[in-house]
Amino acid sequence: MKKVSLLVFALFVFCFGFCVPGCTQNVGSDAPEVTAATWINTDGFKLADNKDKIVVVEFWATWCPPCRKSIPHLKTMHDTYKDQGLVIVSLSDEPAETINEFNKKAGMDWTIGAGSSSGREYGVSGIPTAFIVVDGKIAWTGHPMGGLEEEVKKLIEAKGAKAPAAPAAAVTETSTAPASVETPAPAAPVATETPDAVKADPAVPVTTEAPAAPAATETPTPAAEPAAVPTTEPAASETESKPATDGAAAPVGE
């Protein structure tokens, strides 16, 4: 009977982790500062110095089968998101010698706290248990393989969405500044010169000067010299019409 009870207990610990009494911190509450007797892979760590990061605080032990099973998953997360603001801190109450010996094969290359009693402040009731801490507040808690990575992705995406806001505003201001300066400048010459040039060109040669000047004034006076006068008068009209044509071509080219 005792063997069966021990087998059931061992199976429970393997599947769900080891439970200790405590009151788990809730989402939205202030995250207690973490402490450790010895820090591994770093000279020290404080949540207060990482408020701009997405910090995963994980409580574990080398003897805990579910904890060991979570290590490859945490390693993948660390390698994938460490350059995007993710920091993983694994805390255990075991001595540094035990963890260092275990870590020769485990390959946990992130921040590890040995001899830590922070599990009491966090009210950890079972290991492994993970907390996501953002800006000093607990944003999520649960099993390291029970939705942790999905929540980390959401927080990283939300953090990245706020970053481009400043460049977007700068681009908008830059594009509007030259538009307001350049638009009025060409408006004045286009509106003033083009209509005047178009109206002046057809009016001078066709309607006013060509038919009125030679027909009404100069033709009736010289009656005795019919041959010389008509010859010079058309030449004058041709000379006037050519500059008129040249004057019409200039505005179009402009």
How far apart CA 90 and CA 113 sit, in angstroms, is 6
pLDDT of residue 25: 73
Least confident of 184-198, 214-228, 229-243: 229-243
**pLDDT tens, position by position, 106-148:** 999 999 999 999 999 999 999 999 999 999 999 999 999 999 9
pLDDT of residue 23: 53
Residue among 210, 207, 205, 213 at smallest CA distance from 247? 205
- Mean local confidence (pLDDT), 17-45: 81
Residue among 154, 149, 14 at smallest CA distance from 79? 149
**Range with the largest mean pLDDT of 21-35, 125-139, 218-232:** 125-139
- Mean local confidence (pLDDT), 203-221: 44
Q: Is the pLDDT of residue 188 over 90?
A: no
Model confidence at 219, in pLDDT bands (50, 70, 90)? very low
The residue type found at 149 is E
The DSSP letter of residue 30 is B
Least confident of 65-79, 80-94, 169-183, 209-223: 169-183
How far apart CA 52 and CA 87 sit, in angstroms, is 10
Crossing angle for the helix pair 65-81 and 2-16, to the nearest 10 degrees: 10
Cβ(201)–Cβ(190) below 8 Å: no
Q: Is the pLDDT of residue 53 over 60?
A: yes
How far apart CA 55 and CA 151 sit, in angstroms, is 12
pLDDT of residue 226: 46
pLDDT of residue 160: 80
**pLDDT tens, position by position, 68-116:** 999 999 999 999 999 999 999 999 999 999 999 999 999 999 999 999 9
- pTM for this entry: 0.57
